[in-house]
Structures are given as C-alpha cells and as structure tokens.
C-alpha cells in the first residue's frame, strides 16, 4: 500500500507541487493523492497575467485555482516582482524610453493590487519578491530594472502594496542558492532590514533547487537556523534534487543509474529529517513538479537533457526516495 505523502506529513507541513495545465491532466492521480498545496509553475508570472498595461489574462490561472479549490487544496502565489518572465512594457513608455521611478512604482502597485485582489481569499501565501539578491560579490541586490529604475526600496514598496491589497495573505521573500553561506547571510540581512523597518513580511521561501552532492546538509541546516531566528515562517518552495552536479554538462545519460537512485534516496531522507526537526518554522514543502516524466530541469541548465529529480518516477511509481521520506514513524 502506498501511503499519501500529504497524510504522512499531516501535523508537520503542507506538501505542495508546482503544476501546470498539462500536468494537472497527466499527473492528476498523484497530485490528488499526495499533495495539499499547489503552485502555478508559470501561469501567475507577470508576463502570463499582464501582457499589456491595460490587459490582464487571468483565464489559465483561474482554471488552476478552480481546480485546487475543487480538490480542497491550498494555493501558493508565484510571483509578483521578479527580473525574469516579466513583460518589457512595464519598464518603458510608449516611445520605448525607460519610465521614471514614480511611473514604475505606480505600475508595480497596480499590478500587485489587481492580481492580489483578484485572488483574495484563494491564495494563502505569495512570493511577493523573487530572487532579488546578488549571487556573488559585495553587492546585496542583483542588477535589474526594478533596482536601477526604482532603487533599493522597490522591495519594501512591493511588500507594502501587497499587504494593502490583501491584508490576509502571507507575504514571502523567495530565493535560490538560499543555503549558500554567503548568500544566506545576504538574504538574512535584507529580511532583517525589512523587519526592522516595519515592512509587512511573513516568511522566507527557500527554493531548494538542490542536487545529489550540493549543498551540504550542514549548509542547509545553518541557513534554516539563520532564517528561523528571524521569527518568520519558512516555506520550501521549489524543491527538486537534480542527479547532476553543477559542473556536469553530460547530455548522454538516458536513465537514472542505481547509484544515482541510492544517493538521491539518502539525500531526500536527510532533507526531510531536517525539515521535520524544524517543523515549528517550516509550514510547507513544495516540490517544483510531481514525477520524473516532467521537470523544468530537462531544459535547465542544459537544454534537452533528461533529469530525475522527484520522489515519483516517470511511470508515477514511488522511488526509493519516496519510501525513505515516508518511513520515519
Ligand atoms: C521555471 C519554470 O519551471 C520553467 O517552466 C520556466 O521556463 C522558467 O521558470 N526559480 C523560480 C521559478 O522562481 O519560477 C522557475 O520556474 C525556476 C527557478
């Protein structure tokens, strides 16, 4: 008998999955049985919801929310302010000239307000700002149009607008490489500053795009401790465990070897043991997909290379990784 992941983790945290209109069909059985929260993989991003200043396209995302509601699942909103998958029009006027700080703030506010009010009551947590921190170097924030046009306070403005739009929503700062000691220090610094300035922020999203070898468990633990010490909620928001290390650019691997499967199962066991240890801080653990037949990692960072990052295989059967994370009681 295959237990439900979400049921096993009742009393610990929600178990979520990123889904899209195709996987809602092709992976419906797994989604319905094992997950209590969903995130739209792409369908709530700026370019999808707001292709032109006066035009919002909510239909696809609305269907996903209706599906979640029908299934009694929660929805995480992803994402409002990001440097990727954001329509260029927002940064330019009709002549293609860069807009001023005031105009961009107004447009940002209008986007956040419209989207959050549209989904008020249906989305319990939003990734308000995604990936704003610089990966390396002395700079705290990554270069982006948001930063260069508005200035550093684009982040706190985004949270303020979001809170005004839906005071009931939990507001998250979300990022990747979140367990890297240097970057986690920067994330901590940014969020601490927001809290000290009275900015309405309720949580930190750890994307958790990890692999068989990296990051080390000790780094993840340190990052979780650091973030939890701020007294905020933590969500694991985009978890996947790639079978390739960062530098591995092979494209000729056609199946997951026994060695990869065993390593992955050990990693998953360690991760979930750690998550359970921090269950008071961690409210939800979302995978960036459902089963190995579909993952964005098949196209990233190397195009057209198969990956097997989940606890369900391509035939929707539980892998060793699955059994390792459900057998702890
Ligand atoms: C990815 C999607 O999975 C892909 O389908 C899309 O082509 C690019 O974006 N960090 C994030 C997510 O916050 O939104 C990204 O999702 C993965 C990395």
Q: Which element (helix H / strand E) includes 238?
A: strand 233-242
What is the CA(41)–ligand 1 centre distance, in A?
A: 7
Which parts of 243-290 are beta strand (E)?
282-287
Could you report the per-residue pLDDT of 52-66, keeping only the tens digit for each? 999 999 999 999 999
Residues with active-site annotation? 131, 238
239-250 per-position pLDDT tens digit: 999 999 999 989
Q: What pLDDT sits at residue 319?
A: 98
Helix or strand (DSSP H, E) at 34: helix 28-34
Give pLDDT, residue 196.
98
Question: Which residue reads 């089963």 in tokens?
Answer: 291
Which residue's alpha carbon is at the smallest distance from atom 7 of ligand 1?
Answer: 296
- pLDDT at residue 284 in the model: 98
Instruction: Choose which residue among 296, 303, 304 to substitute to test ligand 1 binding: the one with the highest number of ligand atoms within 8 A of its C-beta.
Output: 296
Mutate to test the pocket of ligand 1, among 76, 82, 236, 238 (most ligand atoms within 8 A of CB): 238
Report the separation in Å between the CA atom of 241 and the middle of ligand 1, taken as the mean of its atom positions. Answer: 15
pLDDT tens digit sequence for 160-214: 999 999 999 999 999 999 999 999 999 999 999 999 999 999 999 999 999 999 9
Q: Which atom of ligand 1 is found nearest the CA of 131?
A: 13
Distance 198 CA to ligand 1 centre (A): 30
Flag whether the ipTM exceeds 0.95. yes
pLDDT < 70 positions in the chain = 329
Q: Which atom of ligand 1 is nearest to the CA of 78?
A: 14
CB-count exposure of residue 57 (10 Å: 0-12, 13-18, 19+): middle
Which residue CA neighbors atom 16 of ligand 1 most closely? 41
pLDDT for 104 = 98
| CA–CA distance, 205 with 220 (Å, rounded to integer) | 13
- C-alpha span between 180 and 132 (Å, rounded): 15
The ligand 1 site (C-beta within 6 Å) comprises 41-42, 130, 176, 207, 238, 296
Q: Give the residue among 288, 184, 186, 313 at the shortest CA–CA distance from 236.
A: 288
| Closest atom of ligand 1 to CA, residue 45 | 14
Q: What is the pTM of this model?
A: 0.98
Dihedral sign from CA coordinates of 152, 153, 159, 165: negative
Residues of the chain with pLDDT > 70, as a percent, come to 100
Q: What is the mean pLDDT of the chain?
A: 97
């Amino acid at each position: 008998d295959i237990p439900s992941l979400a049921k096993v983790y009742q009393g610990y945290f929600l178990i979520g999955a990123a889904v899209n209109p195709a996987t809602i069909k092709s992976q419906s059985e797994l989604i319905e049985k094992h997950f209590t929260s969903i995130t739209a993989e792409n369908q709530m991003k700026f370019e999808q919801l707001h292709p032109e200043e006066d035009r919002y396209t909510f239909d696809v995302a609305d269907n996903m929310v209706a599906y979640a509601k029908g299934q009694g699942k929660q929805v995480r909103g992803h994402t409002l302010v990001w440097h990727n998958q954001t329509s260029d029009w927002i940064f330019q006027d009709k002549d293609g000239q860069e807009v001023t700080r005031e105009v961009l703030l107004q447009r940002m506010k209008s986007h956040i307000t419209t989207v959050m009010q549209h989904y008020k009551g249906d989305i319990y947590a939003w990734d308000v700002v995604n990936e704003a921190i610089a990966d390396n170097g002395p700079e705290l924030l990554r270069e982006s149009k948001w930063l260069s046009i508005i200035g550093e306070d684009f982040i706190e403005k985004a949270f303020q607008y979001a809170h005004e739009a839906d005071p009931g929503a939990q507001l998250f700062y979300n990022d990747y490489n979140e367990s890297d000691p240097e970057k986690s220090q920067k994330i901590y610094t940014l969020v601490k500053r927001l809290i000290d300035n009275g900015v309405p922020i309720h949580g930190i999203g750890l994307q958790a795009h990890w692999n068989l070898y990296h990051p080390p468990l000790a780094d993840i633990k340190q990052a979780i401790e650091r973030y939890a010490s701020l007294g905020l909620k933590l969500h694991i928001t985009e978890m996947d465990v790639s079978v390739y290390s960062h530098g591995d650019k092979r494209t000729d691997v056609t199946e997951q070897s026994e060695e990869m499967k065993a390593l992955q199962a050990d990693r998953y066991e360690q991760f979930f043991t750690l998550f359970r240890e921090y269950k008071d801080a961690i409210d939800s653990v979302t995978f960036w997909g459902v089963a190995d037949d579909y993952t964005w990692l098949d196209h990233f960072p190397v195009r057209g290379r198969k990956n097997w990052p989940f606890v369900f295989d391509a035939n929707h059967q539980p892998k060793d990784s699955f059994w390792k994370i459900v057998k702890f009681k």
